Structure 1
């Protein structure tokens, strides 16, 4: 039992990068885009279609990578949400 506890303590204090498959999938897709296509606002639907998953799985990855959420307001009361890459 004490060996198990020591191993857990060792794992808890060890720093190792956590790589999610979604993060790597996003980085691969984004890296394959032409440079001119990278520096623009993206809608979530673009990410969802490119990565074949839902936005709730993509947004934590975007936030961790430094992307910002923005809104474009209109006078009709509707707004468009988009994501801006880090600069």
Structure 2
């Protein structure tokens, strides 16, 4: 989710950079800046930090399971056996 307060703040800062001769158009420019920033950020398909952390944890657990399975397979192969395919 995009933090709209940060977008508003950035649009305000951009508006402050407008030359003094265009101050009358300031409100209009600020709205255009906000709309452009929001559209650009939406196209990036960003995720929240919380969503990122959840996916990171899932990936970590998956990696740990994969490493355990690889170790077990290596042990079985070292003993000259094959994985037990009858135990489903």
Fold shared, TM-score > 0.5 on shorter chain: no
Length-normalised TM-score, structure 1: 0.32
Q: Which has the larger radius of gyration?
A: 2
Which one has the bigger helix percentage? 2
Which one has the bigger strand percentage? 1
